[in-house]
Structure 1
């Protein structure tokens, strides 16, 4: 039986690297997508793809490469994010071009990845995981505003709506979509510098292995797992 395939967008040093290692340990082939990777390092177990997710066509190109090399991915992780920082007193200092670029990375390319994921999931056997995981944060929560992260927050709100819609639409088919949000034990936001790559990887694996009762808004605490706030 061939190994299942995991496709990771925004493969970086923290969450991306820890997730790739955890998935590999659990028997997955890993395809990683980022702007700075070395495709010559690809082999039978690892596929490295260069892509700028500000250009949404890069998503379908990445899926096409994975399908050509190995087949259909059963788990897709979207870990890419972008933000142009703005002043708290006037968020509209960000240009339309920068706003559109951040929205492309945070939402439009994520949407494209969900759409391609559904196409993949429809071809896979019932035993496959069929799961889309988006690394979010608390900015999708009503009333939570971080002025400097205006463009990032806009994207998180929009994408959380898309994920909730997908989770409802495809529930009966067994396709699972999660907005994954690491929190402190008290339910607060986790600073980007203290986000746990290992914590995310462990939580991702727990969802794959038995997260059927976890809702689309998958808030978790490191070493504790899913926690409703």
Structure 2
């Protein structure tokens, strides 16, 4: 029996690395993609490293095609990338159009394409295979941070997309989550920063069913899913 495949898009040293290690320990083959990855010697039986530039959505399609050619269809797709051009808190419309488009592309357009590719693959996988698309979000879809206007616009759009997909594909067993780590009181996780191992455990729990959460999956490290004011079911 072939191993299940997880694909981490935006694979960095914190969430991406922790998630890759945990999923591999659970028997997954893991493909990781990012702009800055060193892909020399990048393939073995259980690991695949790919280059993507998420400001160029076509590279997302190319990455999925590479995984399909080498391994097959991912049953777990995690979009862990984000972009932000900080703006003047008193003048959020000062960001250039070019920078706004770049951030929206990374935070939403490439997310859409990744979700579209994921669904295409999910359709071909056996009925009993857990299938999940997870997006690393933050508080900006429910709260306003003027300096993060471009990121908030993109995260909010992607949250809407995740909710729509969660409803539309529920009968097929395709699960979609906007994953947002919070402090114990529901604030943005800044200091200490977001937890790589915490995200990895939460992702795995959503996939294997040990954690039950709606599409707006707010969580606290070591506690699991926790709803807060503004959380959506």
**How many Å separate the matches in 2 of 1:40 and 1:129?**
31
**How many Å separate the matches in 1 of 2:187 and 2:81?**
22
Moved more, 130-139 or 32-41: 32-41
Report what 2:98 is aligned to: 97
**How many Å separate the matches in 2 of 1:36 and 1:129?**
30
Deviation at 1:154, TM superposition (A): 0.5
**How many Å separate the matches in 2 of 1:45 and 1:13?**
18
Report what 1:112 is aligned to: 113
Report what 1:128 is aligned to: 129
**How many Å separate the matches in 2 of 1:145 and 1:192?**
19
Moved more, 171-180 or 193-202: 193-202
SS in 2 for 1:194: coil
TM-score under structure 2 length normalisation: 0.95
Report what 2:33 is aligned to: 33
Within 5 Å, give how 1:45-124 maps onto structure 2. 45-124=46-125
SS in 2 for 1:178: strand
| CA-to-aligned-CA distance 1:150-193 (integer Å, 9 cap, x gap) | 11111110000000000000000000000000011111111176
Residue-pair matches, total:
227
TM-score under structure 1 length normalisation: 0.97
Deviation at 1:213, TM superposition (A): 3.9
Report what 2:141 is aligned to: 140
Contact conserved, 2:211 with 2:225, CA < 8 A, in 1? no
Structure 2's unaligned 5+ residue stretches are 229-233
Q: Which runs of 4+ in 1 moved over 6 A?
A: none
Report what 1:8 is aligned to: 8
SS in 2 for 1:73: coil
SS in 1 for 2:128: coil
